[in-house]
Structure 1
């Protein structure tokens, strides 16, 4: 199989899974292993295509980001409406944990076995959150409090474990903290852009020696594939999240873990 076909496949996988509660990083590690697309250059490629998925959310939510930016520039903060403070306090916990434990995370958790465990443990958390009888106090993102935003940020730290899923952990956290599933999903998408953009740029800088002109076409193909598919996936997921409980996604994670265990172990 040519590297170009592998780039398209991985771009599609990234776009489909980045914003679903099924772990895109886990999928990329497992699929990359199956395709024999591994190594430093492959790792850098996976970082680049994540940026494609980030751009898809930025395009879809550009009006909300412009509103948040206007409020930020005008210093118009209020707990009654989603603003930059919600985003900052939701992002800080994962950022701090990553900076402290980044070496451990990359050396120990970025492997097929750790991913399979993350898929299962994350699925259990999603089932617990879905079945928890917590009173909903935030039906939409504008009703999310600073306390809830910070709590969701703490749950986002779990996403540093590949296989756990950023959207899965944050949506689960939102449900356990009193937000509706739709509000938690929207908030997850909104905070994903600065979180993923910052992480991607940092990782790209650290991997700059593997960003060569020879791989430019390959990276571009993966980037475009991830961007287009992510646009479709986000809109589809927002419709699904209104009807499907997290247990359905948890069941998928368990099946995926079993299938990959059979092929990889």
Structure 2
């Protein structure tokens, strides 16, 4: 991995902090990672830099596993009330991750070739912001107040919106929370469901990317990958709790306006 010539530990830490802070905010972690790499002088055309941007996301996702471990354990246990009122289970997760997973596998090379870059991030920041404003304006009264209230149909609808997150800058949480609102899921439930669905998605994406990029990675990349992953994990633990608190005070459109401002700044810095 190169920063001009080579990346240093400082760059890995900065990238990890940015990832941990933005993975769970609807402002696009991938978009911020691409922008940060650009400002640090890293070449986003390098395959190992692209892979680093995917792998470091796994650190933030591991934070979800730690914070929601009881929920994940619950997927494999049966509660007496399940026969009366179905709770969140693995089928919900499967339905939500299916659309984006299939799309990512089929179009992985196309996405990395044409959608990863500072210019495309500007456009997706704007498009994602418009979707968030629309979802906030037109969503109806929620029928699912908690993740256990989410139906299979709502889970699949959220999954369809998650396809948009394959466009760097669009934001996984932004697209899925927007989809959740339009599917009549509450802000908090949509956010927590987004966290849970991100775990298998990111584990799969990281494994696939490492496998396909194995021939161009080297031993010297491992320390940078590890430092970035560990940093994003620690920061992500704090970011999750903070974001859930902010959702109780701020509308989704607040984050949309931030995205517009960021896009405007990028137009001057990058273009």
TM-score, normalised to structure 1's length? 0.94
Indicate if the aligned counterparts of 1:15 and 1:226 stay in contact, CA closer than 8 A: yes
1:162-185 deviations in Å (ceiling 9; x for gaps): 110010000000001101101100
Output the CA distance in 1 between the equivalents of 2:255 and 2:83: 35
2:126 to 120, 124, 141: 120
The equivalences for 1:158-177 within 5 A come to: 158-177=164-183
1:45 to 52, 55, 74: 52
Q: Does residue 197 in structure 1 map to residue 209 in structure 2?
A: no
Indicate if the aligned counterparts of 2:125 and 2:169 stay in contact, CA closer than 8 A: yes
1:247 to 243, 249, 253: 253
The equivalences for 1:212-251 within 5 A come to: 212-251=218-257
SS in 1 for 2:75: helix
- Who is 1:21 aligned against? 26
1:96 to 82, 96, 102: 102
Output the CA distance in 2 between the equivalents of 1:77 and 1:159: 35
1:62 to 57, 69, 78: 69
1:108 to 100, 107, 114: 114
- Distance 1:79-1:260 versus aligned 2 partners, 3 A rule: farther
- Deviation of the 1:135 alpha carbon: 2.3
Equivalenced residues, count: 263
- Who is 1:131 aligned against? 137
- Distance 1:79-1:100 versus aligned 2 partners, 3 A rule: farther
- Distance 1:71-1:213 versus aligned 2 partners, 3 A rule: farther
Output the CA distance in 2 between the equivalents of 1:215 and 1:82: 39
- Who is 1:12 aligned against? 17
Indicate if the aligned counterparts of 1:54 and 1:192 stay in contact, CA closer than 8 A: yes
SS in 1 for 2:76: helix
Indicate if the aligned counterparts of 1:79 and 1:146 stay in contact, CA closer than 8 A: no
TM-score, normalised to structure 2's length? 0.92
1:207 to 185, 199, 213: 213
CA RMSD of aligned residues (A): 1.8
